[in-house]
Amino acid sequence: DSLSPYLVTIHAGKTYLYSLKRKEFVPRTSVLLWGSSKDPIANVEGLRITNWTFTSIPLRAHLPKLKQQADSWVAAVLKWYSVNRLSLSTQHSFSVLLLLPLAALMIAFLRNVVGIRTFGTFMPAILSLAFRETGLLAGLLLFIVVVIFGVLLRMSFKYFRLLLVPRLCATLTCVVMLLFGLSIFGANFRIHSLSSLSLFPVVILAMVIERLSIAIDEYGYRKALSTLGLSLVAAALAYLLISYHFVSYLFSAFPELNLSVLGLAILLGRYFGYRLTELVRFKSFADKELS
């Protein structure tokens, strides 16, 4: 729908909207008011505007942390600390960033308690944030496509005998161009999961491609692909945790909850017991001792 001018009228304490285009009153709930300024939507010089589009980002409203009281210093401090003081775009960015410590804690639990091996410590955590924008299945598929393409390019770089840093730079360049091409393809065919690839961690992808290629050369395809699969499982579990609406709302409305994540990380760092995978791995030794 195109933009239409409306006249706001107030009668007996109630607000009514009069459509100057349709010459009739319309319900307030059926109209999205874009603004009340008399200035035009856009100003140009030497050109003529033929079309424009609008982009919106859904944001969840945060409930107040404390009933506002004029004489309450606690309410004043919490109001000053509120995330609502930030702009909408900054709120959206921090609503994602504030979930990163929780995702990292999930990965630390899987590595130190469960015993899952992953490519890097924070790769699955950062990858889980990207899955929030693309979706889990689409994100996994895109990750696999990019990694396969990158590994093939990485193998072709062997013939050039490049040093480590230039080779990483070349891999990163190829990954960025591939993501850009997929995003353009998704925008042209209106595939949302492809058009939101700008949030994919390109540096992490380049490092995964490098480490996967080295693991294939040193340990073979079976162990390298096994570690990559476990990394994706860890990223998927972290995604399921941070994509839960209640969890994402709590951490965006109450950023101080990350202090509890800090405490849990310290407690987890003091765990020196067996991992679950080690109990299964060394179960035969325990059976021999019992016999």
pLDDT by residue (tens digit) across 72-95?
666 667 667 777 777 777 777 888
Average pLDDT over residues 59-73: 56
Q: Is it the case that residue 122 has pLDDT exceeding 90?
A: no
For residues 32 and 101, state if they share a domain.
Answer: no
Top-ranked range on mean pLDDT: pick from 10-14, 24-28, 118-122, 220-224: 220-224
* Residue 83 covered by a domain: no
* Residue 290 covered by a domain: no
Q: Is it the case that residue 25 has pLDDT exceeding 70?
A: yes
pLDDT value of position 125: 93
Average pLDDT over residues 19-31: 83
Average pLDDT over residues 144-165: 90
Q: Which of 54, 77, 97 is the last residue of a domain?
A: 54
* Residue 61 covered by a domain: no
Average pLDDT over residues 224-238: 94
Arithmetic mean of pLDDT over the chain: 83
Average pLDDT over residues 150-175: 90
Enclosing domain of residue 105: 89-284
* Residue 72 covered by a domain: no
* Residue 250 covered by a domain: yes
For residues 144 and 205, state if they share a domain.
Answer: yes
Q: What's this model's pTM, rounded to 2 decimal places?
A: 0.75
Identify which has the larger pLDDT, 71 or 254. 254
For residues 271 and 188, state if they share a domain.
Answer: yes
Q: Is it the case that residue 228 has pLDDT exceeding 90?
A: yes
For residues 105 and 184, state if they share a domain.
Answer: yes
pLDDT band per the 50, 70, 90 thresholds, residue 62: low
* Residue 69 covered by a domain: no
For residues 153 and 39, state if they share a domain.
Answer: no
Q: Is it the case that residue 142 has pLDDT exceeding 70?
A: yes
Average pLDDT over residues 197-201: 69
pLDDT value of position 91: 78
For residues 97 and 35, state if they share a domain.
Answer: no
pLDDT band per the 50, 70, 90 thresholds, residue 287: low
Average pLDDT over residues 94-116: 92
Average pLDDT over residues 196-216: 83
Kindly state the greatest CA–CA separation across the chain: 92
pLDDT value of position 1: 55
* Residue 225 covered by a domain: yes
Domain count, the chain: 2
pLDDT value of position 135: 86
